[in-house]
Chain A
Amino acid sequence: MENNLRSKILAIIPAYCEAPYISDVVKGIRSQNIDVLVIDDCSTDNTGEVAEKAGATVVRHPYNLGYGVGLQTGYIYALENGYQYILQLDADSQHDPSDAQKVLDPVLQGQADLVIGSRFLEKSYKVPFSRRMGNKYFGFIAYLITGKKFSDCTSGYQAMNADVALLYSTKILPVDYPDSDVLIMLHRSGFRITEVPVLMKPSPSNKSMHSGIFKPLYYIIKMTLSILLVILRKRYSHGN
Chain B
Amino acid sequence: MEIKLLFFTLIGLFVLVLVLYLLREYKMEEKYSFLWLIMGIIVFLTPLLYPVWSIWAGKLGLADPNLLIVVLGMVGILLLCLQFTLALSKAYRDRKTLAQHITFLSLRIQLLEKKLSQKREGKLSTQSGISKIGE
Contacts and interface: CB of A to CB of B under 8 A. Distances in A.
Given A62-B101, A229-B23, A233-B24, A176 B31 contact: yes
A222 B34 CA distance: 8
A63 B94 contact: yes
A232 B24 contact: yes
Contacts of A174: 30
| Most B C-beta atoms less than 10 A away, residue of A62, A172, A174, A221 | A62
B54 interface: no
Interface residues of B, number: 15
Given A171-B26, A172-B26, A233-B24, A222 B31 contact: yes
Nearest to B101: A62
B98 interface: yes
- A interface, size bucket: 10 to 19
Contacts of B93: 63
A169 interface: no
A62 B26 contact: no
B97 A63 contact: yes
A225 interface: yes
Contacts of A176: 30-31
A229 B97 CA distance: 32
Interface string B22-37: 0110100011011001
Given A229-B23, A229-B24, A232-B24, A63 B30 contact: no
Interface of B: 20, 23-24, 26, 30-31, 33-34, 37, 93-94, 97-98, 100-101
Closest 10 CB pairs of A and B: A62-B101, A63-B97, A232-B24, A171-B26, A229-B23, A62-B97, A62-B98, A63-B94, A233-B24, A229-B24
